[in-house]
Amino acid sequence: MHDLPLKTPVFFEALGSSAHWLMLCLCLVLVGSVVGLHYEALERLNNWLPRLRLPARLRVLVLIYGLMAVHTLEIWIFGMALYGVTLFPDLGRVTGADGLVLLDAVYLSTVTYTTVGYGDLRPEGPLRLLLGMESLSGFLLVTWSASFTYLEMQRNWRVT
- Segment 12-67, tens digit of pLDDT: 666 678 999 999 999 999 999 999 999 999 999 999 998 989 888 899 999 999 99
> What is the C-alpha separation between 141 and 143, in angstroms, rounded?
5
Judge contact between 74 and 113, C-beta under 8 A. Answer: yes
Q: In terms of CATH architecture, what is 19-155?
A: Orthogonal Bundle (1.10)
Given this model, what pLDDT does residue 31 score?
Answer: 98
Residue 138 sits at φ, ψ, to 5 deg, of: -60, -45
Q: Return the number of other C-beta atoms located less than 10 Å from residue 34's C-beta.
A: 24
Judge contact between 74 and 35, C-beta under 8 A. Answer: no
- Is pLDDT of 73 > 80? yes
DSSP letter at 94? E
| pLDDT confidence tier of residue 97, bands split at 50, 70 and 90 | confident
- Please give the single-letter amino acid code of residue 34: V
| pLDDT confidence tier of residue 98, bands split at 50, 70 and 90 | confident
Distance of CA 37 to the CA centre of its chain: 12
- pLDDT tens by residue, 112-138: 999 998 989 999 999 999 999 999 999
Given this model, what pLDDT does residue 6 score?
Answer: 57
